[in-house]
Amino acid sequence: MTPRATMIAKVHLAKKQLALADESYRDILRRVTGQESAGALDERDLDRVLAEFKRLGWKPKPNRTGTSKHAQIRMIHAVWADLCKLGIDAEDEAAALRAFVARQTKTAANPAGVSDPAFLDSHQANKVLEGLKAWRTRLRRAGARAEAA
């Protein structure tokens, strides 16, 4: 990706994280640069827009790609498979996992949550993984109580 393309992607990410309506987003672009589209901006203008988003409360996250994130996502799928074996009631297991991930990752900036485990950052993956492990523990305890009775 070119530096300009990276900056455009950051502008769109900031728009999403700040939960800006399209009209508000375009108003900010107009006010800061005189343009209505990030695609029409040069790097200097994109830098000014990103600075404005930071002023409005956007906090860029460092790029945290690495093996730990991928290991966490593999673990999420493994714990989910355990839950399915323990008998969670889901017609479409993949859709149920995506729905769980979305519920666990809802924030004010992203009210819909993250749509798929593959898109989680390390922090979000950890939150989802801990939620799944707690659910698995509850199911195991319930199963042990049922066997004892």
And the tokens for 36? 């209505």
Alpha-carbon distance of 13 to 109, in angstroms, equals: 11
Q: Is the pLDDT of residue 2 over 70?
A: yes
Question: What mean pLDDT, rounded, does the chain reach?
Answer: 88
Q: Is the pLDDT of residue 29 over 90?
A: yes
Domain locations in the chain as residue ranges: 3-55, 67-148
**How many Cα atoms within 13 Å fall on the side-chain side of residue 76?**
29
Instruction: Answer yes or no: are the C-beta atoms of 48 and 10 closer than 8 Å.
Output: no
Question: So what's the pLDDT on residue 30?
Answer: 95
3-state secondary structure of 15: helix
- When mean pLDDT is compared across 19-23, 27-31, 38-42, 141-145, the lowest value belongs to 141-145
Alpha-carbon distance of 48 to 54, in angstroms, equals: 10
Name the residue type at position 72. Q
- When mean pLDDT is compared across 88-92, 101-105, 114-118, the lowest value belongs to 88-92
Instruction: Answer yes or no: are the C-beta atoms of 53 and 31 closer than 8 Å.
Output: no
pTM assigned to the model: 0.53
Q: Is the pLDDT of residue 94 over 80?
A: yes
Span 47-57, average pLDDT: 93
3-state helix, strand, coil in the chain (%, to 5): 70, 0, 30
Q: CA nearest 128: which of 81, 79, 70? A: 79
Terminal Cα-to-Cα distance of the chain (whole angstroms) = 61
Question: So what's the pLDDT on residue 52?
Answer: 93
Residue in the structure block whose two tokens are 């502008």: 11
